[in-house]
Amino acid sequence: MKTLVIGFGNTLRQDDGFGVYVAEALAQQPLPPGVDIHTCQQLTPELAITLSQYDRAAFIDISAPGELAPGSLIEADLLPQVTSASAVTHHFNPATLLLLAGTLYGHAPQARVFSAAAGEFNLAEGLTPPLQSALPLLTACVLAWIQPS
């Protein structure tokens, strides 16, 4: 089974880089055969062809601040769908990318999003303390998900 892990975000905007940092932490772990790690600043339509070649995909990102405390973990299965009117412009999201992979290339993998609630998006490198604490926890969640059944 082929699994693609995509960690995305801007490492120059504090907690926005969380997905990249988790993907980098995963790349340092012993991974099962067939698991590939990819990092990027943002999702783009060009990733659809790559995504279509995998059985499963994990998307790792930060969630906008909201009702949850910074560092709170969030996991959810994803289905291919257009989730906003701007989904094919600047703000491309995982569900729309799955839809594009299925529509254009005939296959959308089973997918799951792994995230944590953000604290700060200041112009700075590194994570805030709550996200530093969440990083190994979410890394463990993704590792558990990618292990063969």
pLDDT at 84: 64
Tokens representing residue 48 in the block = 């659809």
CATH superfamily of 3-146: HybD-like (3.40.50.1450)
Tokens representing residue 109 in the block = 């993998």
Domain borders along the chain are: 3-146
| Other C-beta atoms lying within 10 Å of the C-beta of residue 103 | 12
Task: Give the side-chain half-sphere CA count within 13 A for 61.
Answer: 17
**Average pLDDT of the chain to the nearest whole number:** 94
pLDDT, tens only, 54-102: 999 999 999 988 889 999 999 999 999 987 654 444 468 999 999 999 9
Secondary structure class of 27 (helix, strand, coil): helix
d(CA 66, CA 42): 21
Query: Is the pLDDT confidence value at 108 over 70?
Result: yes
Cβ atoms of 58 and 142 within 8 Å: the answer is yes
**Nearest to residue 71, comparing CAs of 5, 13, 129?**
129
Percent of residues, the chain, with pLDDT higher than 90: 89
Secondary structure class of 8 (helix, strand, coil): strand
Cβ atoms of 37 and 3 within 8 Å: the answer is no
pLDDT at 66: 84
d(CA 16, CA 46): 21
